[in-house]
Amino acid sequence: MVHQSYHSQLAGWSNSNGNSYQKIEDLLFAVGELAISICTSRKPFISKDSKSDPFAKFLSDKHINKLWEQIEKIVKRTDKNFSFSNEIKSIISDLLLGKVSSLDAIL
C-alpha cells in the first residue's frame, strides 16, 4: 500500500501579472485573495484602493463582516447553498487585514 501525503505550495512567476511582492503583507493579502477566488471562482478585488474598488472599503476590522456578506450574496446567485465557514472567514480575514505575519502563522 502506497501512502501519499499532499502539501500545498505557493509558486509564483516573476512579473507574470505585473505584481511583485516587496512586503510579506502584500503576499499574504494575495494569498487571502487567492483563497476567495478558489472558493468562489471570482476575483474579490480590483485593487486595494477604495476609490476604484467597491469591496476595498470593507477592508477594516469594523467592516470585514460586510465584505463576507457581499461575497456570499454574489455567489449565492448561482449556488444558493454556498457559504464560508466561520473558521475560513477568520483565517482569510486575518490575511486580508494584515494580522498574519507569516505563512506559518496560518497553520
Q: Where are the domains of the chain?
A: 24-106
pLDDT of residue 18: 53
Please report, as a single letter, which amino acid is at residue 50.
S
Encode pLDDT of 57-104 as tens digits: 899 999 999 999 999 998 888 888 888 999 999 999 999 999 988 878
Average pLDDT, whole number, for the chain?
Answer: 81
Which burial class, exposed, middle or buried, applies to 32 when counting CB atoms under 10 A from its CB (0-12, 13-18, 19+)? buried
Mean pLDDT of 36-44: 88
Instruction: Tell me the average pLDDT across 19-23.
Output: 64
* pLDDT band per the 50, 70, 90 thresholds, residue 13: very low
Q: Comparing C-alpha atoms, which of 30, 46, 25 is closest to residue 101? A: 25
